[in-house]
Amino acid sequence: MKRAWLLFLLLVVFTHFLSAATLDSVQVKKQYFTKLLTGNIILDGAPNEEVWNTVEWGGDFTQYQPNGGKAPSQKTNFKILYDTKFLYIAYRCFDTAPDSIIKRMGRRDEFPGDWVEINIDSYHDQRTAFSFSLSVSGVRGDEFISNNGNNWDTNWNPIWFAKAQVDAEGWTGEAKIPLSQLRYGNEPEKVWGFQITRRLFRKEERSTWQYIPQNSGVWVSAFGELHGIKDIPTHRQVEIAPYVTAQTDQYKKEAGNPFAKGSESKINIGLDGKFAITNDLILDFTVNPDFGQVEADPSQVRIDGFQNFFEERRPFFIESRNIFDYQLTGSEAGGDYDSDLLFYSRRIGSSPHGNPELNDGEYLKSPQNTSILGALKFSGKTKKGLSIGILESVTQREIATIDHDGQRREELVEPLTHYFVGRLQKDFKAGNTVIGGIITGVNREKGLSDQLHRNAYSGGLDFLHYWKNRTWYIRGNVVFSEVQGTKEAILNTQTSFEHVFQRPNAREVAVDSNRTSLAGTGGTFRFGKIGGKTGKMGQVLRFETGVTLRSPGLELNDIGFMLTANEINHFTWAGLHYQKPFSIFRSARLNYNHWARWDYGGKFIYQAFNFNSHATFKNYWQTGMGLTWNTFDISNNALRGASSIRRPPGLGNFFYVVSDTRKKFYTVLETFNFWGFGNTVKGNNIDLTTTFQPINALRISLSGSYSYNWRRQDQYVSDVTFHNLNRTIVGQVAQKTLRFTGRISYNITPDLTLQYYGQPYITRPIYDNFAYVSNPLARQYDDRFQVLDRSQMSFKDDEYQVDEDKDGTPDYSFSKPDFNFVQFRSNLVARWEYRAGSELYLVWSQGNTPDADADLNTPLANSLWNNAFAEQSRNIFLIKWTYRFLR
């Protein structure tokens, strides 16, 4: 640990040394003056109407990347007009080689080829902005920018209009943005921040109207200003979007099963809507939402006990999610703790928690997901810098039906549940200081009371402060949680993988079987530097250090996401970033990280150091590599509460190379390897992705990955009892995983697209050399286990029988832990936006998760092929029609 602090001290000294480097010039904010539209504009991509001549061309762009501060390769001009309903933007992108303009197609928000983009800070809060991008091929992209440019949310989908054309001088574009899609105050004359960026694809060059040095570490706060907008009315956005879906499921009929007749059909009707309470604050609502067109989650299986995290893909929850985002840590160093959230929207509408037990001859019909009856979201930001987010959702009571020879019974698998999230943030001093808070609640009706909490609450307070032109910062939060329920439910929480209060070597916690509630706290403090002065080679030093805590009783998984409690993590990251071309590089980064961890009993449990580097070459290839040295590791969770166990130290490294992504064919190769000292652990992973774009409208991507992970002895298997003693069985495990992913995207027009996604996946852990844990914290690896030799074990009916005392009678048994998990998921989606905001989807989804355990001895690739495409696949055919009414 002393070495870590010494390295940190050296970094601070290095920071002071670099601060003496040449000062970057202060950037003066540019201004553009618009005027009221006095005629008509035909939106065809050619700004040749006379009315455009009432305002001057803006221009004088500067390179942002790669040669920040220099003149761009090609000249760019723009004009802006407005009326009482719309903002109009005209672009003239000059190009001395019009035949070299890249006109690739893509779906909305894919930003293909050459494009131009306007960012509008209509709040003028210098932290948030609305972004509208137009590619030369006519593809639109839109994003909501928050946290001063550190977060760009592509899931914001406003209604706006744009066209582009290519001519002998380059290309032109016109955009028409409804003022109802922006947020602004009621002052008579507006001053908005704005920025225009152009991408020249063939050189991967970006130039901006308002020059912002890369080393500044800021974005929105440095925008230029738009003046001249006067006396525009406040537009209260009203949008209603009813939908109808018709769905048919086809699958293999199962003889004797009354719930598996081979096909099912249903029709759903629902409604989505938006209503502007004020011009700043929007109420979103959804009734009986349907997410049938959403791409399936990637297959993922873990054997280490930790839960899987999946990204949110459902439109209602991802729009405006920046307001509801509340990471407990979010460190630059990164770590498992960075996935912890107070609000994880995937909890709403997840799979039911109940799993009915079946008797012989019984068949089960149970919902795959909990239905969302409705949800409301009230969000926005006022002119005075107050961000508000309120979300409420109710999920349906779910019932499983069990049939036995025509006699049926019902069993609750998920109670009616109410979810609530409230979030507030307030900007001070133009966003240099931000203070906020959040509160969440989950309330369930009676049912499954031995498994689920009746009530679950969490909350937090957070702060952020910048100084020195927003290059230095401190930020942090404190959080709390309380869960309430029956004695059985709270006991389950205390003894769960995340908490393991039952550990015999835990001085800081103990199981209390009479508890009906559990409370905990946590928090994070971070201090860092994100920009500043540059050295002679254009380098800038950035760093961050901090600490993040989770008390033993902290529990967030009813509505949030938390991997484990009872941790105090220290982290430090420093990066030396070369942002201008030098030698053979366009840019380069050198990073250092270290981590240390304690539990709340004061026990030191983890330490690691990392160095990594990344570079983009002048031939547009990219590469990176890194090395992590794990010097010390004790896991409180790996044995599921039986005890803590010392894990072997080791080394891990990664390497990747990316060929020139401007080309129509490029590849990405990634590798990761790790080794435990003393031949205790090893792992290898390789990923190869190829992308081919034979024509501008067609893009094909194929990837394959293979991983092999081996642990010699310490993989948890089971807990058993031997002569009134607890035994924790562990073993050697070798897990092989193979995954292929294919994506095809064909763009008939920017608004009519066809996409395919398919992923066959297999993972197979095989166990051997079983032992029981005897001295889990012993320094020598082999002293931690007592190996069970072959003469003590027998195998019958998928169970291992163990005669530990060798008296001829089995003393205990445990199930065979080997398995062969195979899954295939695919989506074929045709999407047509036949009018602004209104869409028609045609979807074919295919899924197959066969029972493949009988195939354990078949070669991995053969087993994947034989099972993933077997006849028992479930095919879903869906048509979804939405119509968006606007006011």
In angstroms and rounded to an integer, the radius of gyration of the C-alpha atoms of the chain is: 29
What domain range includes position 215?
34-230
Supply the DSSP symbol for 23.
P
Residue 884 lies in a domain: no
Alpha helical stretches, state H, 366-513: 487-494
Strand duo 224-230 + 31-33: pairing: parallel
User: Which CATH number does the domain housing residue 42 bear?
Assistant: 2.60.40.1190
Predicted model pTM = 0.90
CA nearest neighbour of 134 among 746, 749, 750:
750
* Amino acid present at 493: T
Residue 108 lies in a domain: yes
Residue 576 lies in a domain: no
The pLDDT of residue 13 is 40
Do 561 and 309 form a contact (C-beta atoms < 8 A)?
Answer: yes
Length of the chain counted residue by residue = 887
The reply to whether omega before 213 is within 30° of 0 (cis) is: no
Residue 187 lies in a domain: yes
Higher pLDDT, 384 or 395: 395
The pLDDT of residue 886 is 78
Mean pLDDT of the chain: 92
The predicted model gives 224-246 an average pLDDT of 90
Taking only the tens place, the pLDDT of each residue in 758-794 is: 999 999 999 999 999 999 999 999 999 999 999 999 9
CA nearest neighbour of 477 among 325, 322, 328:
328
What confidence category does residue 15 fall into, taking pLDDT thresholds of 50, 70 and 90? very low
The pLDDT of residue 6 is 43
Whole-angstrom Cα distance, residue 650 to residue 628? 8
Taking only the tens place, the pLDDT of each residue in 89-129 is: 999 999 999 999 999 998 888 889 999 999 999 988 888 89
Taking only the tens place, the pLDDT of each residue in 680-693 is: 999 999 999 999 99
Exposure string over 838-861, b if 16+ CB within 10 A, otherwise e: bbebebebbebbbebeebeebebe
Higher pLDDT, 454 or 382: 454
Helix (H, G, I), strand (E, B) or coil at 257: coil
User: Element (H or E) spanning 676, and its range?
Assistant: strand 665-676
Share of the chain above pLDDT 70, in %: 97
Helix (H, G, I), strand (E, B) or coil at 665: strand
CA nearest neighbour of 312 among 337, 295, 288, 289:
295
The pLDDT of residue 4 is 42
The pLDDT of residue 11 is 42
The pLDDT of residue 333 is 95
Residue 469 lies in a domain: no
The predicted model gives 807-813 an average pLDDT of 93
The pLDDT of residue 183 is 85
The pLDDT of residue 26 is 53
Higher pLDDT, 289 or 649: 649
CA nearest neighbour of 686 among 711, 658, 654:
654
The predicted model gives 277-289 an average pLDDT of 86
What confidence category does residue 539 fall into, taking pLDDT thresholds of 50, 70 and 90? confident
The pLDDT of residue 476 is 97
Instruction: Please determine, for residue 9, whether its predicted confidence score (pLDDT) is greater than 80.
Output: no
Q: Find tokens 């409604």 and name the residue.
A: 271
Residue 209 lies in a domain: yes
- Which residues make beta-bridge pairs with 481? 458, 520
Taking only the tens place, the pLDDT of each residue in 168-179 is: 999 999 999 999
Instruction: Please determine, for residue 14, whether its predicted confidence score (pLDDT) is greater than 80.
Output: no
The pLDDT of residue 348 is 95
The pLDDT of residue 278 is 79
CA nearest neighbour of 55 among 80, 85, 88, 31:
80
Helix (H, G, I), strand (E, B) or coil at 47: coil
Taking only the tens place, the pLDDT of each residue in 567-577 is: 999 999 999 99
Taking only the tens place, the pLDDT of each residue in 499-511 is: 999 999 899 999 9
- Three-state SS across 168-206? CCEEEEEEEEEHHHCCCCCCCEEEEEEEEEEEEHHHCEE
Taking only the tens place, the pLDDT of each residue in 638-665 is: 999 999 999 999 999 999 999 999 999 9
Share of the chain above pLDDT 90, in %: 77
Instruction: Please determine, for residue 182, whether its predicted confidence score (pLDDT) is greater than 80.
Output: yes
What confidence category does residue 17 fall into, taking pLDDT thresholds of 50, 70 and 90? very low
Whole-angstrom Cα distance, residue 819 to residue 765? 6
Taking only the tens place, the pLDDT of each residue in 311-330 is: 888 888 887 788 898 999 99
Instruction: Please determine, for residue 24, whether its predicted confidence score (pLDDT) is greater than 70.
Output: no
Whole-angstrom Cα distance, residue 511 to residue 396? 33
The pLDDT of residue 431 is 82
Instruction: Please determine, for residue 25, whether its predicted confidence score (pLDDT) is greater than 80.
Output: no
Helix (H, G, I), strand (E, B) or coil at 715: strand
The structural domain count of the chain equals 1
* Amino acid present at 844: W
Taking only the tens place, the pLDDT of each residue in 145-154 is: 988 888 898 8
Instruction: Please determine, for residue 396, whether its predicted confidence score (pLDDT) is greater than 80.
Output: yes
Q: Provide the 10 A C-beta neighbour count for residue 56.
A: 12
What confidence category does residue 730 fall into, taking pLDDT thresholds of 50, 70 and 90? very high
Whole-angstrom Cα distance, residue 666 to residue 701? 10
Q: Provide the 10 A C-beta neighbour count for residue 35.
A: 16
Helix (H, G, I), strand (E, B) or coil at 664: coil
Residue 163 lies in a domain: yes
Whole-angstrom Cα distance, residue 629 to residue 12? 22
Tokens (6 digits) for 628: 């992590």
Q: Provide the 10 A C-beta neighbour count for residue 627.
A: 14
Helix (H, G, I), strand (E, B) or coil at 461: strand
User: Element (H or E) spanning 17, and its range?
Assistant: helix 2-18
Residue 114 lies in a domain: yes
What confidence category does residue 541 fall into, taking pLDDT thresholds of 50, 70 and 90? very high
